[in-house]
Structure 1
């Protein structure tokens, strides 16, 4: 009995110790997880989010002390960031190991799976490996083993320049950029350039090779690359051969070539082009005005010892004061300025004059060269003491359509006017002159008038407002042979327009009477004020209806009593209204409408429906009187009985 109790206690203590050992340390008789990696057979692969068919290998060890295991089947239950290629069960991927693993031996299970694009790089995802196997000489065993999955990412290194072309014969500072557009880091990155056989382009790096170091996803490094191409290489394309060396996210050394293309621009031809120019020079007759002259070298080579002189000109306008200036040296694109004075005589009035300027300079070899620039001077006209033209126009035009606009020009000078030229220019936005805006009259005698007829369009947006047209007139006074200019503004009012339309016209019966009903629509852009509608015709008495204001695009209903004599009603509608300027207008609309048939099949005059209604009223009154009489007799008879 004591032996049995001792054996039972020993077995119980053994189970407790095994249970405790399973909690604290791995059991001696099981399969142990050694780790996982991307790849197979010890060869590691780069894996990034979005990869398909990636191989994940799980390394395991047989921890049984004496037993070998075989027929190993592993089912890996995946987190949401991964899926198997089995559409029926995308969350589980399966792998088999058919060999025999002796005690203490190791083996690998490789699973083919897809990585979701949303998976993150560098995070540890947890999967569960459901492992089943056969213990050689015994029954099957199974385990659930946690498996860690980490996505290393894949770097994508790109090399680029900030320019696409370089100038020949110069050292061009070009920015070289190396960027990681992938999902994994690149370490120990270095960039080097390899000279191409027969290439004449020189490349200078601050350090060679350029050691970048570690470049994470989305990061970029820059350096300055100096490139020199000879002038004879202009117009060609040169290829810069580079080599990129780095270690990827799993520590594998990667080396691949890169090529950068640059266009070598055609060499510029060196030349000197010194020009003198000014803003518009305008001066009144018999006066002076200051102006600024600009001297600029628009060539590609420097000009030395630049001198500007005013040339000889017989014109009645020219430069006064200093007429020669020493500018010094002018580099390509450099500009200097000088201030001078322009003078004009009375005889220069209303003229345009060109003043020559002589520019001399030396080139790099010391040869003196010269060129000429021209300054244009505009001399105004002598204003007339009094106007010689009386100009007036019509007071208004209508907006929304081209209108004839009449302008009258009268010669109020004591003598003849010759070669009268008039130019019209709208000053108000929305006013357009269609066709020509210039008129020429050979002669106007004293008191004689000339009429300008222009086609003017006014935008509806300016209706109800005033507008102006600017007139410029030039002519010659025959008695003095003097040219004169006059500028005038003519003003007018832009009227809106009213376009009335009548629609939905019909004859209807209301309470046994005939009425003409319809709607009035203003399709214009201006209000029709104090409006009234009148119906005239042989089949009706003239009757009117005051409508008041008819706004654009706002239908106004109306109805008028009519007295048709047959199946067709004929008449005329008159609509009177005033525009915004209180000018009265009258619109006429002829109509011919079908008359509906009244109940009882009668149409036309109202006498028959009125007689029928009278008879019906008499009958109803008789019935009411009879009922009242019977009621009164019954009451009286009852009272006699009571008494």
Structure 2
């Protein structure tokens, strides 16, 4: 299922300068096949004196193959021009730096104005109206002076997003351009600029341990660690995987789905690794950490852990102890032989001393 909802830009008074014709800004599609697209008409009308660029926010709500619901927001700009030739000052381009803008950031907004009309625009003044929890560090109203046809002028604003501003939301700034046209009539061109605010995600790995230790060649071991999000917004759909680089090889337990990791919430993990044939030494074990931010955009980082591998100790053969029976038996035979020899010698001498009859 895919639901598309279109939201019209609103002015500071809360009213929209545009209205829908025929439709109410909602479309439903039963399914969208891979690598295909769907088209739908969008009919709008504006009041008589509306001139400028207005954002249209399209909210996409859909379910994936796992029946999980996702929501994404896309913004498009609609330029409204006057019917008759006149002076027309509007924004030609803009630039935000640094980008993306995160909670608590100070960032710059650069506007390039251009007179698209056929006559000079006089006393051009630009006013920036910031949404709640955004502040302008530089003056919000800037005087440009006069602009000739097809001439441009650049304005720089410095702004700050509050750390408590909601992340995952497109915050709309109103930019009003006041000038006097060639007929001496005061004109205003209103623009609405949507800036998506991001929460920061900073994943670190610490508290690393190995089991067993030491780590032997041609053996498996388990690496345990803790992942901490030091940012301000959750890291979603987080997955950690061992990268198979020599001498390390993956096993069935070399990947782990950790899900959502909230800020300042330690998340433990353990992965199995096999050490293939290699020399003794220290090798970098690479762990791929992939996740998605609050806008469902994918991110990844690689964390390296030094691992020292060695050869397993050699098994020594136990020598059989020499039996003491053989020496004892040998000594006994020698003793008996000496005793017999002594007896024979004594008998021989006695026989010689005895006179013959």
TM-score w.r.t. the length of structure 2 is 0.50
Q: Does residue 1:581 correspond to 2:295, yes or no?
A: yes
Change (3 A) 1:463 1:413: same
Contact 2:125 2:142 in 1 (8 A): yes
Partner of 1:538: 246
1:457 has 2:160 as partner: yes
Q: Deviation per CA, 1:32-85: give whole Å up to 9, x if none.
A: xxxxxxxxxxxxxxxxxxxxxxxxxxxxxxxxxxxxxxxxxxxxxxxxxxxxxx
What's the C-alpha RMSD, in Å, of the aligned pairs?
Answer: 3.6
Structure 1 position 576, deviation (Å):
1.8
Distance 2:142 2:124 in 1: 8
Q: 1:604 aligns with which of 281, 300, 310?
A: 310
CA pair 473-569 structure 1, distance change in 2 beyond 3 A: same
Distance change in 2, residues 1:584/1:437 (3 Å): same
Partners in 1 of 2:205 and 2:170 — Cα distance?
A: 32
**Which residue number corresponds to residue 431 of structure 1?**
134
Unaligned runs of 5+ in 2: 1-81, 318-357
Structure with the bigger RCO (C-alpha within 8 Å, sep 6+) is 2
- In structure 2, the CA distance between the partners of 1:514 and 1:400, relative to structure 1 (3 Å rule), is same
Given the alignment, which residue of 194, 198, 205 partners 1:502? 205
Matched, 1:525 2:236: no
Cα distance in 2 for partners of 1:398, 1:514 equals: 40
Tell me which residue corresponds to 1:47. none
- The answer for unaligned runs of 5 or more in structure 1 is 1-383, 596-602, 616-643
- Equivalent pair of 1:507/1:516 in contact (CA under 8 Å): yes
Are the aligned partners of 2:168 and 2:295 in contact in 1 as well (CA < 8 Å)?
Answer: no
2:19 is matched with none
1:590 and 2:304 correspond: yes
After superposition, the C-alpha distances for 1:236-295 in whole angstroms (9 at most, x for unaligned) are xxxxxxxxxxxxxxxxxxxxxxxxxxxxxxxxxxxxxxxxxxxxxxxxxxxxxxxxxxxx
Q: 1:402/1:482 Cα in 2 relative to 1: closer, same or farther (>3 Å)?
A: same
The match for 1:405 among 109, 114, 127 is: 109
- Structure number with greater Rg is 1
Q: Is the 8 A contact 2:239 2:289 kept in 1?
A: yes
Distance of 2:161 and 2:200 partners within structure 1: 11
Distance 1:393 1:569, change over 3 A: same
Distance of 1:394 and 1:578 partners within structure 2: 25
The offset of 1:520, in angstroms, is 0.9
Change beyond 3 A, Cα 1:575–1:436: farther
The equivalent of 1:513 in structure 2 is 220
Taking the aligned partners of 2:202 and 2:194, their CA distance within structure 1 comes to: 26
CA deviation profile, 1:182-227 (whole Å, cap 9, x unmatched): xxxxxxxxxxxxxxxxxxxxxxxxxxxxxxxxxxxxxxxxxxxxxx
**Contact persistence 2:168–2:198 (CA under 8 A):** yes
Aligned partner of 2:176 among 472, 477, 480: 472
2: CA distance, partners of 1:487 / 1:535? 53
Aligned to 1:388: 88
Mapping 1:99-498, distance limit 5 Å: 388-391=88-91, 397-426=101-130, 428-448=131-151, 450-461=153-164, 462-477=166-181, 479-498=182-201
Structure 1 residue 385: deviation in Å? 8.8
2: CA distance, partners of 1:520 / 1:527: 12
